[in-house]
Amino acid sequence: MDQTLLAPARSKLLSCLLLFLTLITPAREVSAVDHWEGGYVGSKTEGDATTPVWNFIKNFTWNQYYWAETFQFDSYNNERVDKMDFSYFVGHGSPWNIKCQTTWLDLRTAGASAHKGWGNNNAEFVTLHACNVVASPLEVADWYSAWTGNDGVFDGVHQVCGFRTSASMSCDQDISEYFGSRIKAGAAVWQAWFDAISLYGDGSERGAAVMYPPCDGDSYAVFSADPPEEHSWLRIWYQL
Amino acid sequence: MNKAITMIMLAGISSFLIAADPVVLRSENLQMPLNAVSTPAFSNLRIERMKTLTYEAVPKKVLDQQSARTLLSGIAERSTFKIPFEKVEKLNGRFIFSSPEDPSAVFDIDASNGAFLLNTGLKRYSGDESSRNLPSDKEAPELARKHLINTGFLPKNRQEIVLAHVGGLNMAVSKEGRSVGNYRKLVTVRFNRVLNGLTVQGPGSKIVVQLGQDGELQGMIHNWPEVRAKSLPAAALKSDEEIRRETGLRLRSEAGEAQAVTIRSSRMVLYDDGRGVIEPAIHVIADARYKGPATKESVNNPVDFYVPLLKAPKAIYPFMKSAESKLPEGDGRLPSYQPSQAQDWSDGK
C-alpha cells in the first residue's frame, strides 16, 4: 500500500491519542526531584555571580551555598562538591580552569589530593557556568585528557556541563533559573542545559558537556550506575 | 596602585563611551591618554532618539492544559515526531509535557503568552554516528522557514524576522587516550527580530529551529509576541550624561576588578524582557582582562549588560532581578574571602 496515504491517518490517530491523554491526565504540580544540591559563587567583586547560583539552587531544598573556595573542588571536595549530587558554580573561567574569588583552580590537577576528583564519594552532576571551561574539539584536538588524566576530576562523576565559549553575563540569571526548574522537573541533564542556553542565551554563547558515555541519558530523577573511578572513555556534546 | 589604574581606565571608558559614533559606540584603545579622548558628538544618537519607539505585547488568552495540548498536537500532525508527551506538569505558569521514554523530550509552554520550547528528544541521536541527510548550512535557513510555515509559526510580518545564525549540535568520543569519532547531529537555525531598524535582544523575540536527520523538525523555540508600538516623548528618555554615568556604574559593578577593560561594542537595541515589554536600551559588551591561571598571563572574560534608555523603564532587566537573590555564606572550613569596602563595586545589589 502507498505509504503516503497512510501518513495522514497515522497523524490523526496520534492526535486522537494525544487528546485522549490530555483528557485523562490532569496536570499536576511539578514533582520535586531533590537530592543534595550545592551552589558555589565564584566572585563577589567581578560581576554578579550570586544571582545565577541562587536562581539555580532556589529550585531545591539546597544543602550548601558558599562563596567558592578552591578547596571545595579539590582537597576538601568529599565534604563539598563531591558530597553533593548536583553542584552549580558561577564565576570566571578559562579552559579547564575556574576562578574562586582571586584564586584559579586548575581542574587538570584538582583530583590529585587524598579526596581524589569528583564522583568517588557522591557527585553525579557538576555545572561550571563560566567562560570557556569545557573546551571542545573545535578549540583543541585533545579535549578529553584533562578530564580523565590521573589527577583530573572525572572519578565517577556522570556529567560536567559548561561553555566552550564566553558566557554572556546578561543572560546567566535566566539560564540558571530555567535550567534549575527543568532539572527539578526530571529533565535529562545536559540536554536541559543546552535547552536553557538556546532559550535564554543571547545567541553568542555555546554550551558543551562532557560525560561518561553510558550516562548520556541521565536525568536528575533517574540516573545510571556510577562510572568507574578509573576510566578514559568520554563523550562531549557541543553547540556550534 | 593597580586599582587606581583600573579606575582611571574606567573613567576613560565612561567618558569615551558615547563618543565618536553614538549608535555604535566603541572604545578601540583604552591605552590612549585620557586627554586624547574625543569630545562626544551626539547628533546621530539624537536622530535615533527622535524615532525611538517602545512596544507592548498584544495580550493573549491564557492557555489551559487542553489548548496547550492541542497546540502540541497541531505541530505533531505537521511534523514527523512520534513522542507521546504523556506526562504533564505545571511549573511557574508553564505546562511541561514530557515523556519517561526519553527525558530529553519536552514541550514547555508559557500559559500566559504561548511562548514555547519543543525538543522532540535526543535519545535517537545518541549513537556513535552522524545523522543521515542533515541539511547543509546553506540549505538550513530555507528548510527552517518551511517548517515554520508548515506549523503555522512563521511571523505574519516577514520584515521583522532576520536570519541570525546557522549552527548545530555535534558529539565527539574519546577512548583510551585518543579521539575515536566526531559526529554531526543537528543543524540549528536562529532567527532574530528587528523592529523599526533596531535588533531585539533579551529573553523574548526569538525563533530557533533544530533540524535533524533528513531535515526533520527536531525542535523549535518560538517566542514572538505580536506587538503594538508606542512613540516615546523625548522627556521620557535619559540624557546622554545619565546614560554615561549609568554605564560607568555598571562597568564598575561588572568589571571593576579587571586589569584592563576595553569596550568592544555599545549599541542601541530593543530589549524584550519576555514578559510583554520591548523598549530601547544600550547594550554594552566589554572585554575585561583578569590575571590568568599559572599558564596564562591574563584571560578575557567579557562582560555585557543593558542600560535602559527610559527614565522609568517598564521592562524587567537582568540587574533588577539581583535584588531577589540571597547572599551565600562564607565557608567555615578556612578563613573565607571577605571583600573589603574598597573593593565592593556591587552597587548595593
Does residue B46 lie in a domain region? yes
Q: Give the C-alpha distances (Å, rounded to integers) separating B51 from B44, B194, B239, B267.
A: 11, 14, 16, 15
Q: Is A20 on the interface with B (CB under 8 A)?
A: no
Number of domains, chain B: 2
Q: Which residue has the higher pLDDT, B202 or A23?
A: B202
B20 and B69 share one domain: no
User: Buried (b) or exposed (e) across B10-32, using 16+ Cβ within 10 A?
Assistant: bebbbbbbbbbebeebbbeebee
* CATH number of the domain that residue A94 is part of: 3.40.50
> Is B233 inside a domain boundary?
no
Residue A15 lies in a domain: no
| Cβ <8 Å between A71 and B333 | yes
pLDDT at B166 (0 to 100): 98
Tell me which chain A residues have a C-beta less than 8 angstroms from the C-beta of B96.
Answer: 30, 182, 185
Query: Residue ranges of the alpha helices (H) in chain B?
Result: 2-16, 43-50, 65-77, 140-151, 240-255, 318-321
User: Which of B69, B176, B254 is opposite residue A169, by nearest beta carbon?
Assistant: B254
C-alpha cell at B268: 542601541
Q: Provide the pLDDT for residue B253.
A: 85
Sign of CA dihedral A82, A83, A86, A92: negative
Q: Are residues B212 and B79 in the same domain?
A: yes
d(CA A2, nearest CA chain B) in Å:
17
B271 is a domain residue: yes
Exposure of B303 by Cβ count < 10 A (0-12 exposed, 13-18 middle, 19+ buried)? buried
Sorting pLDDT into bands at 50, 70 and 90, what band is B44? very low
Interface of B with A in 258-287 (CB under 8 A): 258, 274, 283
- Are residues B254 and A48, on separate chains, in Cβ contact within 8 Å? yes
B246 and B212 fall within a common domain = no
pLDDT band, very low/low/confident/very high, at B48 (cuts 50, 70, 90) = low
- Residue A10 counted as domain residue: no
Q: Are A207 and A193 in contact (CB under 8 A)?
A: yes
How far, rounded to the nearest angstrom, does the alpha carbon of residue A98 sit from its chain's CA centroid? Answer: 15
Element (H, E) at A90: strand A86-90
Same domain? For B20 and B139 the reply is no
Q: Measured between alpha carbons, how far is B6 from B8 in angstroms, rounded to an integer?
A: 5
Q: Determine contact, residues A37/A176, Cβ cutoff 8 Å.
A: no
Q: What is the pTM of this model?
A: 0.87
Distance CA B339, CA B29 (A): 30
pLDDT at A9: 53
Judge if B260 and B315 occupy the same domain: yes
* Of B77, B325, B344, Cβ closest to residue A11: B77
* Predicted pLDDT at B6: 41
> Which residue of B104, B316, B317 to mutate against A (max A Cβ within 10 Å)?
B104
pLDDT tens-digit map of A22-34: 444 455 555 568 8
- Report, as an integer, the average pLDDT of B326-349: 54
* Structural domain ending residue among the three candidates B225, B254, B275: B225
A-chain CB neighbours of B205 within 8 Å are none
User: Across the interface, do A182 and B108 touch by the CB < 8 Å criterion?
Assistant: yes
Mean pLDDT estimate for chain B: 83
Q: Could you give the percent of chain B with pLDDT greater than 90?
A: 66
CA distance B146 to B172: 30
Residue A24 domain-assigned (yes or no): no
For residue A16, what pLDDT is reported?
52
Q: Which residue has the higher pLDDT, A223 or B322?
A: A223
Q: Nearest Cα to A170, choosing from B98, B170, B274, B224?
A: B274
- For residue B42, pLDDT beyond 50: no
Same domain assignment for residues B262 and B208? no
**Whether A185 contacts chain B with CB within 8 A:** yes
User: For the residues B190-200, what does the mean pLDDT come to?
Assistant: 96
Spatial separation of the C-alpha atoms in residues A153 and A57, rounded to whole Å? 22
Residue B159 has pLDDT above 70, yes or no: yes
Closest CA to A192 of B117, B218, B168: B117
Q: Is the pLDDT of residue B35 over 80?
A: no
Q: Does residue A17 lie in a domain region?
A: no
Do B172 and B261 have their domain in common? no
- Residues in B touching A54 (Cβ below 8 Å): 325-326, 328
Quote the pLDDT of residue A237: 98
Task: Using DSSP, state whether A153 is helix, strand or coil.
Answer: coil
Q: Which helix (H) or strand (E) holds A51?
A: helix A50-57
The C-alpha cell 526519553 sits at B102
Size of interface A-B (CB pairs under 8 A): 278
Range of the domain at B110: 65-225
pLDDT confidence of B27, banded at 50, 70, 90?
very low
pLDDT tens digits along A181-194: 999 999 999 999 99
* Number of domains chain A contains: 1
* Cα–Cα distance, A235 to A213 (Å, whole number): 5
List the single range of A138-142, B7-11, B327-331 with lowest mean pLDDT.
Answer: B7-11
Given the DSSP bridges, would you call strands B198-201 and B260-272 parallel, antiparallel or unpaired?
parallel
Instruction: Please give the average per-residue pLDDT across A112-117, as a whole number.
Output: 97
- State the complex-level ipTM: 0.89
Looking at the fold, whether B198 and B246 belong to one and the same domain comes out as no
When pLDDT is averaged across residues B281-305 and rounded to a whole number, the result is 91
Cell numbers placing B314: 517598564
CA A62 vs CA A34, A54, A55, A57, A66: distances in Å: 8, 10, 11, 6, 11
Structure confidence at residue B240 as a pLDDT band (50, 70, 90): confident
Concatenating the DSSP letter of every residue in B191-256 gives EEEEETTEEEESSSSEEEEEE-GGG-EEEEEEE---EEEEE--GGGBPPHHHHHHHHHHHHHHHHT
Find chain A residues with C-beta within 8 A of B177's C-beta: 144-145, 232
Task: Assess whether B13 and B107 both reside in one domain.
Answer: no
> Closest to B346 (Cβ–Cβ): which among A44, A132, A173?
A44
Are B213 and B158 found together in one domain? yes
Task: Determine the 3-state secondary structure of B322 from DSSP.
Answer: helix
Question: What are the tens digits of pLDDT across the range B160-190?
Answer: 999 999 999 999 999 999 999 999 999 999 9
Give the DSSP H or E segment for A10: helix A3-24
Q: What are the pLDDT digits (tens) for B98-123? A: 999 999 999 999 999 999 999 999 99
A22 domain-assigned: no
Give the position of cell 546614560. B243
Residue where a domain stops, chosen among B225, B246, B266: B225
pLDDT at B53 over 70: yes
- Could you say which DSSP state residue B148 is in? H
Note whether B262 and B287 are same-domain residues: yes
Higher pLDDT, B2 or B178: B178
Q: Across the interface, which of B104, B256, B318 has its CB nearest the CB of A170?
A: B318
Closest by Cβ to B257, choosing from A46, A104, A192: A46
Q: At B61, list the grid cell.
A: 488568552
pLDDT in tens, A39-89: 999 998 888 899 999 999 999 999 999 999 999 999 999 999 999 999 999
Residue B75 has pLDDT above 80, yes or no: yes
Query: What is the bridge-based pairing of β-strands B116-119 and B217-223?
Result: antiparallel
Q: Which of B196, B225, B254 is the last residue of a domain?
A: B225
Q: What is the mean pLDDT of residues B14-23?
A: 36
Question: How far apart are the two ends of chain A, measured CA to CA in Å?
Answer: 41
- What share of chain A has pLDDT > 90, as a percent? 84
Range of the domain at A172: 34-238
The answer to whether A187 contacts B106, with C-beta atoms less than 8 Å apart, is yes
* Residue B338 shares a structural domain with residue B253: yes
Question: What CA–CA distance (Å, rounded) separates B26 from B286?
Answer: 10
